[in-house]
Structure 1
Amino acid sequence: MAVTIAVESPLQDEVRALVAELNEVLLALSPPEACYHLTVEQMAEPGVTVWIARDGDGSAIGCGALKRHSQQVGEVKRMFTRPQWQGRGIGRDILARIIDAAQDDGISELVLETGDQHPAAWAIYEKAGFNRCGPVLDYPESPYSIFYQKQLGRASSAA
């Protein structure tokens, strides 16, 4: 079945349900104080772009977002693919869109925080060139968090 990925508003009932499902998954793995969720309202703020993956029937099956913190730093947020769709490259494809958009915006560094029990996510980030690092932005050090960063930049010609 064909999957499409497009920039969409998170303020749709179906996307709200997808994000609620993501929150349930995360809260089952980490204590609430170690979960740094953006609400759908925060996802709709200027400076945040949200991609939604949809199956051939038009149902929302995955999401991811780019939150711009400055002209130099962007953050990968709200990456999720519904369990029955995992393992099909949807997360990888959403992440590629986020990286491309960040590069197009001239962002030089992407960062993210993910949980300590998400090895499938780690594999996606690492295959995309992200490296583990210490805490990023204003996240605290936590045994429940794994941090990643990726330097971006377009190839430049020698002067």
Structure 2
Amino acid sequence: MQFEIIKPTLAHIPQMREIVSIEVRNGIILERSEDEMANAIRSYQLAVADSGEIAGFCALYIYSTSLAEIRSLVVREDYRGEGLGSKLVQRAIDEGKELGVKEILTLTYRASLFQRLGFAIIEKSFLPNHKIWADCIKCKHFPICDEIALIKTF
């Protein structure tokens, strides 16, 4: 099966929310409202199957001129094992490099995926405070975070 990585439109948001809903219910990914997703629509990358169906997506969130985060990485269960997670993350890395960020961080339960792409595990204490107070505080696991923090430096 072939997949194309594209930038989404606002019309993709309902299907994106449906795809991520299982991971949100399981506490793997933070829920984003339609308005939050619309506001950040330019940060997303979609993997689209030949059928036109969204197979997965992720976002590159910019914190500052030097730091970004890969977030909301999800691949539909029926499309897993096709390397889409790696392709989406690599596209986000490439975009971060093009924009000129110096570091990209992520919080994940799948550290090996990111390590294969050159990320190194770091202590969560190195995360910016605004990450914790803007995002982490919304998590059902807060303050007992069991995700792994990783960073890639250019």
Give yes or no for TM over 0.5. Answer: yes
The whole-number CA distance in structure 2 between the counterparts of 1:113 and 1:129 is 15
The unaligned stretches of length 5 or more in structure 1 are: 30-34, 153-159
Q: What residue in structure 2 maps to residue 145 of structure 1? A: 147
- Relative to structure 1, the CA distance from residue 131 to residue 146 in structure 2 (aligned partners, 3 Å threshold; closer, same or farther) is same
Which whole-Å CA distance do the structure 2 matches of 1:67 and 1:47 have between them? 10
How far apart are residue 41 of structure 1 and its match? 2.7
> Using the alignment, how far apart are the partners of 1:113 and 1:101 within structure 2?
19
> What does residue 111 of structure 1 align with?
105
CA contact under 8 A between 1:11 and 1:40: conserved in structure 2? no
Which residues of 2 match residues 26-45 of structure 1 at below 5 A? Answer: 26-27=26-27, 36-45=30-39
- 1:43 partner SS: helix
Query: Relative to 1, partners in 2 of residues 1:38 and 1:74: Cα closer, same or farther, differing over 3 Å?
Result: farther
Taking the aligned partners of 2:51 and 2:93, their CA distance within structure 1 comes to 27
**Post-superposition offset of 1:142:** 3.5
Query: Which sections of structure 2, spanning at least 5 residues, go unmatched?
Result: 137-142
Mapped to 2, the partners of 1:3 and 1:102 lie a distance apart of 21
RMSD: 2.1
Q: CA deviation at 1:46?
A: 5.1
Q: CA deviation at 1:91?
A: 0.4
**Number of equivalences:** 140
Aligned 1:14-93 pairs, distance under 5 A:
14-24=15-25, 26-27=26-27, 36-45=30-39, 49-93=43-87
More helix by share: 2
- Whole-angstrom CA distance in 2 between matches of 1:9 and 1:21: 22
Deviations 1:72-102 (A, max 9, x none): 1000000011112111110000001000000
Deviations 1:8-42 (A, max 9, x none): 13553212211223313x32x6xxxxx64443432
Aligned to 1:6: 6
Normalised to the residue count of structure 1, the TM-score between the two structures is: 0.78
Sequence identity of aligned pairs in percent? 19
TM-score (norm 2): 0.80
Structure possessing the higher radius of gyration over alpha carbons: 1
